[in-house]
Structure 1
């Protein structure tokens, strides 16, 4: 058996086929299209060849393709071996276990995303409802989406379980204004200095969806925050002499978006108030929100202030 192929059907000199095991022994035979065991018998149903399990029909043929066995759907390759993992058949994707059994419902292949398979085994895409909850599956890959999703002019969010919920819009008037504003990036910031509201949008002209809505602190009387349209400029981790502000993003000149006001140690809060007119013209946010802007809003993003 030296040099003999392993774990596959091999053609013998007389034209018959035999299964070569990993150890090199020959087990089942296919003679004139019919299956025979090593002892010459012709079993039907489930047959263990050592390395693989095959299914043999009543007319002694190896089952191939889709087969229903004991009420369950299986798929077998042309050589009788059960297919496993992802299978593309007829333009649809299916997922099979190691025995070729078609899977339905949620599957989580090792090191992969979650996927959902319909009752007919086909991989779902787009929106589905399962157990009364909504899920969004990538329209191409079928992978379950988590985090934020902008779809149909609305913003949705899913935690790690994938269940999607529409994110609320607390500032509907600002959302309406946003639709008439153009930004050079996929992001837009609006700041309402009258009510000290700060909103971040994702999308494009006419199709903005609210991503974050926060309270902020803007300029005190006589030191008003400038109004108009600006673009996000340089960024920095912190600034201040005798005080400290974290995570700044430039609006224009010395006017910045940054954290609440800290003492010079950078850790104890000097003024953490939000939602009032109390800065020297900059826009203050909760520190975690200023950090989000610092990390996520790209240079050139439109900032509209009124």
Structure 2
């Protein structure tokens, strides 16, 4: 008949709502105001009708559902998520739950995407959860600590950064080389969480002497090599293909070819001498090298 009835823990009827929304207590009375029932709170107006929808009481906003009960926890209303505490009070601003941090606007709406609060930028994913760690947005890289405040990080090769996330390495380092753009990038971390460490210009193989493409591992190192010329601080990619310094004359100090950012080597990857030394000193054997 459209009526809703409630009983207490002992099974005794405590009240009911008629099909036209009128509340009547078990003793036949029709009280108004806030009515507490077992596990339920109703708001009854002066006409004894149970209110539904949005209601503001003493500066606190509640939402009463179609059955007259006040909303609690997450509730989706007209396509938008809101959060209500155990007392039914709508929450605003920062909300901390076991699943993470959320931000609710002054109107209670759960926000997503970029927000600014207190002069700081935050990013909330599609579920409203505040993000921490590294985030790529467009061609920019951001990092946030536990407080979620995003700080833009230097990332000159964002496409390489995104590409790196799909690779694993036997060490906590990863190297990538782009032979078309002559770009060289070093990352620290692990698969899915590689952090840009260094991004440099490099020189790779000239036409007909291309640098090999594929996945390789650091397998050897040496201080220098060359006959009639000299290259410093080499790290083996595979076979005779190396990462090393720019090209010097035989004395080892006079630069013979210091150009970077073009396809001009015999297949090796040339770096500025200080950068080649850093690779030589810091990148361990077994580190993955990805070249395309």
TM exceeding 0.5 = yes
Residues 147 and 40 (structure 1 numbering): CA distance in 2 closer, same or farther, change over 3 Å?
same
Aligned match of 1:7: none
Unaligned 5+ segments in structure 2 are: 168-174, 179-183, 189-193, 201-208, 222-234, 244-272
Aligned match of 1:22: 9
Q: Is the 8 A contact 1:104 1:121 kept in 2?
A: yes
Aligned match of 1:212: 196
Aligned match of 2:111: 124
How do 1:130-209 and structure 2 match up within 5 A? 130-138=117-125, 140-169=126-155, 175=157, 189-190=176-177, 199-200=186-187
Aligned match of 1:75: 63
Residues 37 and 277 (structure 1 numbering): CA distance in 2 closer, same or farther, change over 3 Å?
closer
Aligned match of 1:302: 290
Rounded Cα–Cα distance in structure 1 between residues aligned with 2:165 and 2:99: 31
Question: How far did residue 99 of structure 1 move?
Answer: 2.4
Q: Is the 8 A contact 2:211 2:241 kept in 1?
A: no
Residues 138-186 of structure 1: per-residue CA shift (max 9 Å, x gap)? 1x211111110111211100011111000135xx5xx4xx879x97985
Question: How far did residue 19 of structure 1 move?
Answer: 1.1
Aligned match of 1:233: 216
Q: How many residues align?
A: 224
Residues 136 and 229 (structure 1 numbering): CA distance in 2 closer, same or farther, change over 3 Å?
farther
How do 1:280-299 and structure 2 match up within 5 A? 283-285=280-282
Rounded Cα–Cα distance in structure 1 between residues aligned with 2:281 and 2:23: 78
Residues 228 and 26 (structure 1 numbering): CA distance in 2 closer, same or farther, change over 3 Å?
same
Question: How far did residue 16 of structure 1 move?
Answer: 5.5
Rounded Cα–Cα distance in structure 2 between residues aligned with 1:147 and 1:134: 14
Residues 109-157 of structure 1: per-residue CA shift (max 9 Å, x gap)? 3x3021111111111111100111100111x211111110111211100
Q: Is the 8 A contact 2:15 2:25 kept in 1?
A: yes
Residues 113 and 276 (structure 1 numbering): CA distance in 2 closer, same or farther, change over 3 Å?
closer
Q: Is the 8 A contact 2:135 2:141 kept in 1?
A: yes
Unaligned 5+ segments in structure 1 are: 1-10, 192-196, 202-209, 217-225, 241-248, 258-273
How do 1:78-89 and structure 2 match up within 5 A? 78-89=66-77
Rounded Cα–Cα distance in structure 2 between residues aligned with 1:128 and 1:107: 14
Q: Is the 8 A contact 1:21 1:51 kept in 2?
A: no
Q: Say whether residues 1:101 and 2:89 are aligned partners.
A: yes
Q: Is the 8 A contact 2:102 2:129 kept in 1?
A: yes
Rounded Cα–Cα distance in structure 1 between residues aligned with 2:136 and 2:143: 9
Root-mean-square deviation over aligned CA pairs: 4.3
Rounded Cα–Cα distance in structure 2 between residues aligned with 1:235 and 1:65: 65
Question: How far did residue 50 of structure 1 move?
Answer: 3.3
Rounded Cα–Cα distance in structure 2 between residues aligned with 1:146 and 1:185: 17
Residues 255 and 161 (structure 1 numbering): CA distance in 2 closer, same or farther, change over 3 Å?
farther
Rounded Cα–Cα distance in structure 1 between residues aligned with 2:74 and 2:147: 22
Aligned match of 1:8: none
Rounded Cα–Cα distance in structure 2 between residues aligned with 1:283 and 1:70: 69
Q: Tell me the TM-score normalized by structure 2.
A: 0.61
Aligned match of 1:5: none
Q: Tell me the TM-score normalized by structure 1.
A: 0.59
